[in-house]
Amino acid sequence: MQATPFPTASVADSLTLFHQRAPLVHCLTNDVVQSFTANVLLALGASPAMVVDPGEAAQFSALADALLINIGTLEVSRADAMLAAIASATQAGTPWVLDPVAVGGLTYRTAFAQQLLTMKPAAIRGNASEILALAGEGSAGRGVDSGNDSWFALPAARSLAQRWSTCVAVTGEVDYVTDGQRDWAVSGGDPLMTRVVGTGCALSAVVAGFCALEGDRLAHVAAACAVMSRCGARAAQQASGPGSFIPGFLDALYAERGGVTV
Amino acid sequence: MQATPFPTASVADSLTLFHQRAPLVHCLTNDVVQSFTANVLLALGASPAMVVDPGEAAQFSALADALLINIGTLEVSRADAMLAAIASATQAGTPWVLDPVAVGGLTYRTAFAQQLLTMKPAAIRGNASEILALAGEGSAGRGVDSGNDSWFALPAARSLAQRWSTCVAVTGEVDYVTDGQRDWAVSGGDPLMTRVVGTGCALSAVVAGFCALEGDRLAHVAAACAVMSRCGARAAQQASGPGSFIPGFLDALYAERGGVTV
Amino acid sequence: MQATPFPTASVADSLTLFHQRAPLVHCLTNDVVQSFTANVLLALGASPAMVVDPGEAAQFSALADALLINIGTLEVSRADAMLAAIASATQAGTPWVLDPVAVGGLTYRTAFAQQLLTMKPAAIRGNASEILALAGEGSAGRGVDSGNDSWFALPAARSLAQRWSTCVAVTGEVDYVTDGQRDWAVSGGDPLMTRVVGTGCALSAVVAGFCALEGDRLAHVAAACAVMSRCGARAAQQASGPGSFIPGFLDALYAERGGVTV
């Protein structure tokens, strides 16, 4: 069975909605990627905000258009803020997205991610080893790098999506997006993206922003992956390495605001 | 009533003093912008330091030339460090600057910022909605982005400056700097600066550094705004987007050390 | 007495081993430099991970190839994570490296760094004032900038290395690496590196990665310094300032993966 390539025209449709909405994305994310995540959202015309006190996080999630929960540098106080923010987002009808960074190998975050699953994320974005671990199928991963191919993890993504009524994006050389019934494949990107910290984490924040849009959520999640992939490919073409990739990538995302397409 | 444009010659005077002093700026700032803030200060020839343990923060503030208090990602432990650092700075005669990020919409930080006002900041730097909220005049802002024009917030800035005997910089398309008696207007900058996280926060750190200088504090605060604005304008002219803006902006700040002016 | 320049051929030998091993480096480092540190390790082909919960940090250190302990933004909870990670690393036979940021002037971290010394770091990397303070010989430093020359601190580095059976790298305009018996000198670099936050901290993370290699640890530590120095020199040659230095530096590190040498 093969996943259908997500059509470029649909990317443009979602992106137009995204630029119109300019979503305010509340990011509870890991400390390593906060700045890059904010810059990616800003380049795309969205507004990032990182509010981490539990009380304020709850208050802010109700005002935001979407919420990102990234468990990369999990600590007890941050976990409290995440739970408070999710509860508040849920009450306000604000969609939230889970990035289960490095689940599988580490006990605390794996249990915490399992708990989060029951709180109805609008979407989940992870690499193959994270999605396999989240689906309870084990993984060879020893950290944030994925030793498994995203295609191999697609069945786990599908069962995860069905069980929790959510969209799952399992990303890698090809990204697969599924709601358990339908699948989309998104190609593109560049290996250089794996040599820059936070490209996956920033994608999850962008996915959160796209979940704020009206319409077909699965298509919007696929569009988020597609925008990041093609901007990554463009930036890699111009770059001499991961250092020059970073400004080029942000510039490419910014150029998307002008409706520039390949 | 119109605010007088701050003269370029005065910018040069303050900047010369700044380069001679090369102030050590203790930054208690939000997690998203720490790296960019440090790089901005380093590019200008200053020394940044981020010391966050309450005991150490108090010890360090007495050694530093200036202290920045930015409440962007406020948490209880960080708030303790801020209060300890301010108390120590005050005792040592070290000036400190308040950046009231996102006050107004969020209860905890709004109350905390009101408490900080009573501790005599040397200067306050915020956008229009933050300055309006701090002055108790309400705001339409829902986060760090300002929905209000800086000109509209100038009267609030003036009353804030008078009430707390401080300098207030309300920044936006035009920056206004006031001590409640005198006003200066600083034009320049570029809309691209709003697509890069931390330009406002970094400005507050630079304002703190300029508050360490002898002489007319209001002029020094205006000079800090002017240096950042003109370097932003220069960088934007060369940039293809927010990605290439960042290195260009740091390079432009660094070039100011050679006395380069437009 | 003069230190022998570390030979370029030995740099190449260590670097080849490093690229083959592609070490997973667990970084407990300060908040200001996490992103840059991760990008430096990624550019060199290593895998960074920042896991900060005490329980998870202990679990993860046993899986990692090396551990970095950088006390730059020390807090009580982070200190707990550091102690747990070191204990676990020691039990697993994983080498760990100490970066004693700003010891000397600040009481809490100075006492903590002294405690860490007894836990047998594989290597220590600091500037002159930090190494002098750690050796109990006082320092004029008031923060992260070093007011002392690295050559002046070499005797303190030697006695520190002898007393704690470790390798010490005291870095500055020239870097000196010693195990108390043998010394190596590493020249190169560029003053521009002191105008970018985190070049020293990132070097410590690279030193940790090189400590994961089989063979002569002192040579590997010297090689880590040499790789960073020559990439810094290359990047500085192309840069217009500290802003353009950053992407150029990461690109230069990435180019080292192709075996490119001067």
pLDDT score for A139:
53
Tell me the residues of chain A between 60 and 89 that have a Cβ less than 8 Å away from chain B.
Answer: 60, 63, 77
SS3 C31: coil
- Nearest one of C149, C156, C104 to C135, comparing CA atoms: C156
User: Average pLDDT in the B93-114 region?
Assistant: 96
Statement: residue B23 has pLDDT above 70? yes
The amino acid at B107: T
Of all residues in chain A, what percent carry a pLDDT higher than 90? 91
Tell me the residues of chain B between 233 and 252 that have a Cβ less than 8 Å away from chain C.
Answer: 246-252
pLDDT in tens, A60-102: 999 999 999 999 989 999 999 999 999 999 999 999 999 999 9
Domain B4-255 has CATH 3.40.1190.20: yes
Report the distance separating Cα A203 and Cα A109, nearest Å: 20
Report the distance separating Cα C148 and Cα C137, nearest Å: 12
Label each residue of chain B as H, E or C.
Answer: CCCEECCHHHHHHHHHHHHHHCCEEEEECCCCCHHHHHHHHHHCCCEEECCCCHHHHHHHHCCCCEEEEECCCCCHHHHHHHHHHHHHHHHHCCCEEEECCCECCEHHHHHHHHHHHCCCCCEEEEEHHHHHHHCCCCCCCCCCCCCCCHHHHHHHHHHHHHHHCCEEEEECCCEEEECCCCEEEECCCCHHHHHCCCHHHHHHHHHHHHHCCCCCHHHHHHHHHHHHHHHHHHHHHHCCCHHHHHHHHHHHHHHHHHCCCC
- C8–chain A nearest CA distance, Å: 23
> Which pLDDT band, with edges at 50, 70 and 90, does B51 fall under?
very high
pLDDT in tens, A105-164: 899 999 999 999 999 999 999 999 999 999 998 655 444 444 458 999 999 999 999 999
Of all residues in chain A, what percent carry a pLDDT higher than 70? 94
> C9: which residues sit within 8 A by CB, 6+ positions away?
none
pLDDT score for A235:
98
How far CA C3 is from CA of A206, B16, C41, C168, C186, in Å, comes to 52, 40, 28, 14, 9
* A254/B242 Cβ within 8 A: yes
User: Average pLDDT in the A193-215 region?
Assistant: 98
Chain A residues close to B50, C-beta within 8 Å: none
**Whether B147 contacts chain A with CB within 8 A:** no
Of B32, B107, B247, the CB nearest to A247: B247
pLDDT score for C213:
98
> Which pLDDT band, with edges at 50, 70 and 90, does A44 fall under?
very high
pLDDT score for A208:
98
- Do B133 and B187 meet the contact criterion of CB atoms below 8 Å apart? no
Q: How many CA atoms lie within 13 A of B39 on its CB side?
A: 28
Can you point out the beta strands (E) in chain A? 4-5, 24-28, 47-49, 66-70, 96-99, 123-127, 167-171, 175-178, 183-186
The domain segmentation of chain A, as residue ranges, is 4-255
User: Average pLDDT in the A49-65 region?
Assistant: 95
Statement: residue B156 has pLDDT above 90? yes
Of B107, B197, B243, the CB nearest to A248: B243
pLDDT score for C258:
72
Q: Kindly report which listed range (B200-214, B224-238, B245-259) carries the lowest average pLDDT score.
A: B245-259
> Which pLDDT band, with edges at 50, 70 and 90, does B137 fall under?
confident
The amino acid at C139: S
- Nearest one of B203, B59, B235, B189 to B130, comparing CA atoms: B203
pTM: 0.95
pLDDT score for C139:
53
How far CA C67 is from CA of A142, C35, C80, in Å, comes to 15, 16, 15
Tell me the residues of chain A between 103 and 122 that have a Cβ less than 8 Å away from chain B.
Answer: none
> Which pLDDT band, with edges at 50, 70 and 90, does A1 fall under?
low
Report the distance separating Cα B168 and Cα B159, nearest Å: 10
Phi–psi pair at B66, nearest 5 degrees: -160, 160
Statement: residue B145 has pLDDT above 60? no
Report the distance separating Cα B174 and Cα B151, nearest Å: 8
Chain A residues close to C22, C-beta within 8 Å: none
Going residue by residue through chain C, which has 262 residues, state the pLDDT in tens, using 9 for 90 and above: 678 999 999 999 999 999 999 999 999 999 999 999 999 999 999 999 999 999 999 999 999 999 999 999 899 999 999 999 999 999 999 999 999 999 998 999 999 999 999 999 999 999 999 999 999 986 544 444 544 589 999 999 999 999 999 999 999 999 999 999 999 999 999 999 999 999 999 999 999 999 999 999 999 999 999 999 999 999 999 999 999 999 999 999 999 987 443 3
User: Average pLDDT in the B88-116 region?
Assistant: 96
**Beta partners for residue C171, in sequence order:** C127
> Which pLDDT band, with edges at 50, 70 and 90, does A254 fall under?
very high
Q: How many CB pairs under 8 A join A and C?
A: 98
